[in-house]
Structure 1
Amino acid sequence: MNTSLSYAFLFLTFFASLHFPSILSRKLTTQSPYSTNTFDVSASINQALNALSIKPKPFQTTHSNYHSSSPLSLSLHPRLTVHNPSYEDYGSLVRARLARGAARAQSLNRKLELSLKGGKQFGRRINGSDSTNSLTAPVTSGASQGAGEYFARIGVGQPVQSYFFVPDTGSDVSWLQCQPCDGENGCYKQIGPIFDPKSSSSYSPLSCDSEQCHLLDEAACDANSCIYEVEYGDGSFTVGELATETFSFRHSNSIPNLPIGCGHDNEGLFVGAAGLIGLGGGAISLSSQLEATSFSYCLVDLDSESSSTLDFNADQPSDSLTSPLVKNDRFPTFRYVKVIGMSVGGKPLPISSSSFEIDESGSGGIIVDSGTTITEIPSDVYDVLRDAFVGLTKNLPPAPGVSPFDTCYDLSSQSNVEVPTIAFILPGENSLQLPAKNCLFQVDSAGTFCLAFLPSTFPLSIIGNVQQQGIRVSYDLANSLVGFSTDKC
């Protein structure tokens, strides 16, 4: 380069530095070799410390930030704002959540396993016996902790009485506890009074030859009344009379003659909620009975005092990432999502594209579940995911594993940290990138965080509620699509 050109280059560089500093700064800034998200450690720890002091206000209306366009909308609340028993410390709260999540994952897997083996999904209490199928586990020791991390509020009957239900995309029958309760332990402890069908003018028992009764997987007849039973894979069960009743939604919209189980004998992991809303793919589920073309929900942070909504027939957010909604012909209750891979730090993991597919026997696949706490994936996929994550977080101080997690970090001295982005790869080159707070799970109040994924001991993979926080999950039933949209709570 001659002297005149050298002077010209230096002049242009000096001129650019004065008038276009951003141009040079972009060139000089060292770019991270992989994709990261910023995790606000301080905010997470502060929220955890405040969680124990949250005061439940079960019958006071709260509002979400998301304005639903649907007239059929239910308020959706994290458990602590509805039922917050006294915990010794934040670690005790976490252990209770993990116990509920583990029981839930076991329940879903055993339900599927039993169905694929051709057995009954339920026990035989309605036929006069307390014996249960050999694949059904006993009620776990976590029964006193209750089930579900999110409660939906819905009005029942005429006049309307408000109750909290656990929404469940993994089952079909909606039910609530009813008076009279059979025996000393016929009803578990719930928030508010137990529903008395005699107090509702719109309550109507269904006969054994009714269309709704024939939709049940297991039913019996007692004096021409249709008797239902639902038994879950963790040993929890509900037995009672199938009836129709009026449901009332947030905007004072009421739908009459919806089927609901009136449970007189209920036992297991249901403490707190009055019952369960079935949102599965079966014909008797609430979404099917409403003839809904879609439904969606968004889960706020587990430690938040905010609420969100569960909506039917609402428009899907325009920025939703979509993936095919997959049907398992061997078990129509579960709603599966098409996932073709995972990535860490923007780099696809070297795993088989069939890792999350349903095989010819009906086993495998991946579902999105609000009741399971931590995402569970096949053990070989988990090993690759963990190793990739650990390889990109060598700058973070490690901590001993905290059961059931094997990869943990001591972030007590950190305010913010950069963590590699974890994503589910969907068809069509879509990538569902998870926020950093959805990838690290806080296990105590001191600042210990663990990788929020677990290896599954079952073929079924489950995307848990920690990974869903802040993401609106939409089921477009008319077009068989599942949508994911961030910041839509």
Structure 2
Amino acid sequence: MNEKSTLAIIDKHGPCSQDKAIESPSHDEILRQDQARADSIHSMLSRSSNIPKTKLQSKPGISPGAGKYQVSVGFGSPKTQLSLVFDVVSQLTWIQCQPCAGYCYDQNDPIFDPSKSSSYTYVSCPTGICNRVSSQGMRQGCSSSSICLYGDTKSNTTYSIGYLSKETLTLTSSGVFQGFLFGCGQRNNLITDGGAAGILGLGRGWFSLVSQTANTYHKVFSYCLPSKAGSNGYLNFGDANLPSSIKFTPMSSSFDGTRYYGLDMVDIGVGGERLSIDRSVFSNSGTIIDSASLITRLPPAAYKRVRQAFLAKMTRYPTAPAMEPLGTCFDFSGYSSVSIPTITMYFDGGVEMPIDARGILYFNKVSQVCVAISHTEDDNDVAIVGNFQQKGYEIVYDDANGRIGFAPGRCG
């Protein structure tokens, strides 16, 4: 039987955010965090192994990525409702847990107390499950009381270290999973600005929520991100009632065995004209799609062509200084309306993804409006399709069949 569960997506700085006292970060800070996330992804992928190992100790620092979008899920019996950043680049779900023996950052929800849950258990070591920790690219250890320890680190400044545990996870009233494996973090850092309690890991891998719920949801999930303040977003689990308008592209085999969802980008179009970029420009670096990266980052050669084509169609408007890392900017002072060219991404299988108009320009101020696309530092750095360009689409991840789909017009 096909099952489907739906969670509301909360923009941490939108009107549905739990904490109205949180001040939205500046544009410079948002872009700085996004650059840090891209840097950490590139660092992880550039190492010799596909999934790097991490140290079981670190220091508090700045989180890579703005981690903007959150969902609320329940942990324990009785359940404690927690807001988590959902992340398709992370496979392990982790939350901050009492007694916070090392370090816990500030969060909006009360920190989860496993001693108050009748369904909480920890994973012992040595066991087969504990041994999976190191095989999935995390640091594995064993406490003096024979409890399995994990260390999940995206970089040396974003991490969770604690006890590998099992608990009842409640997604919806019909989506309840007993014995869900997760990280009960004792030393953590995740500066999300929105006070999230941890990460909901939707990446590929043995510990991923996608893998752990495969019997119910068949390794399929999708989301629509809020396109503007006050609009709705949702995260769906399951393959029931997928949109008929969806177009699927095969996942790139280059990322098999990793946590990443890879795509084979083949070209880009500007203003309705394909640029005929050599396919090797994209195949040399590879491309992933990410829910928590903001802007799309292209190989330098591809970005140069996009920038030139966009500027050629915008000669009526004066340019503006760059807003790092965004380098194609315009001054719209004195214009009551503007006309901008379309941008389309082309993927393997003949799939076209015209970027929604709301996903093309990043507004800092009327005198500095930038194309929300940047370039990687190196031709070999993986390209990233960011969430800014995913606006207006339902993005479908079908890991069982090795494909990713795009359905336009499904989001508010």
- Report the secondary structure of 2:234's partner residue: strand
In the alignment, what sits opposite 1:276?
Answer: 199
Amino acid at match of 1:455: H
2:279 aligned counterpart, secondary structure: coil
Between structures 1 and 2, the one with greater helix share: 1
Name 1:450's counterpart in structure 2.
370
User: Equivalents in 1 of 2:288, 2:52: separation in Å?
Assistant: 22
Partner in structure 1 of residue 36 of structure 2 = 103
Counterpart for residue 392 of structure 2: 470
Task: Kindly tell me the number of residue pairs found equivalent between the two proteins.
Answer: 395
Percent of aligned pairs with the same residue? 31
Q: Helix, strand or coil: the match of 1:215?
A: helix
Say whether residues 1:440 and 2:379 are aligned partners: no
How far off is 1:330 after superposition?
A: 6.9
Match of 1:62 in 2: none
Please say if 1:337 is aligned against 2:263.
yes
C-alpha offsets along residues 431-452 of structure 1, whole Å, 9 cap, x if unaligned? Answer: 11112221111113x4531011
**For 1:328 and 1:146, how far apart are their aligned partners in 2?**
24
Instruction: Give the alignment of 1:43-442 within 5 angstroms.
Output: 71-81=4-14, 82=17, 83=19, 87=23, 93-114=26-47, 116-117=48-49, 120-125=52-57, 142-143=62-63, 147-183=66-102, 186-217=103-134, 218-222=139-143, 223-233=145-155, 235-270=157-192, 272-291=195-214, 292-301=218-227, 303-315=228-240, 316-328=242-254, 331-357=257-283, 364-442=285-363
Q: The residue matched to 1:328 in structure 2 has which SS?
A: helix
Worse overlay, 264-273 or 367-376? 264-273
Deviation at 1:323, TM superposition (A): 0.6
Alpha-carbon distance, 1:70 to partner: 5.2
Closer, same or farther: CA 428–417 of 1 in aligned 2, 3 Å: same
Distance 1:117 1:414 in 2: 51
- In the alignment, the residues of structure 1 paired with residue 266 and residue 288 of structure 2 have an alpha-carbon distance, to the nearest angstrom, of 13
Measure, in 2, the Cα distance between the counterparts of 1:156 and 1:176. 9
1:203–1:307 CA distance, 2 compared to 1 (3 A): farther
Matches within 5 A, 1:21-32: none
Contact 1:77 1:306 in 2 (8 A): no
Instruction: Give the number of the structure whose alpha-carbon radius of gyration is greater.
Output: 1
The one-letter code of the counterpart of 2:8 is S
Amino acid at match of 1:156: F
Question: Conserved in 2, the CA contact under 8 Å of 1:104 and 1:234?
Answer: no
Q: Secondary structure at the match of 1:105?
A: helix
Cα separation, 2, equivalents of 1:368 and 1:120 = 19
CA distance in 1, matches of 2:22, 2:87: 26
Q: Deviation digits for residues 168-213 of structure 1, max 9, x if unmatched?
A: 1112111000000124xx0001111100001111111111244432
In 2, are the aligned partners of 1:106 and 1:233 still within 8 Å (CA)? no
User: Quick check: 1:480 aligned with 2:402?
Assistant: yes
Which of 95-104 and 371-380 deviates more? Answer: 95-104
Greater alpha carbon shift after TM alignment, 369-378 vs 320-329: 320-329
Q: Distance in 2 between matches of 1:73 and 1:311?
A: 4
Residues 158, 307 of structure 1: alpha-carbon distance in 2 compared, 3 angstrom cutoff: farther
Distance 1:426 1:408 in 2: 26
Alpha-carbon distance between aligned partners in 1 of 2:161 and 2:112, rounded to the nearest angstrom: 15
Aligned partner of 2:132: which letter? L
Secondary structure of 2:344's partner?
Answer: strand
Letter matched to residue 348 of structure 1: R
Cα offsets for 1:415-434 (capped at 9, x unmatched): 43221111111234331111
Tell me how far apart the structure 1 counterparts of residues 30 and 231 of structure 2 sit (CA, whole Å). 18
What's the secondary structure of 2:29's corresponding residue? helix
Gaps of 5+ in 2: none
Note if contact 2:85-2:198 (Cα within 8 Å) is conserved in structure 1: yes
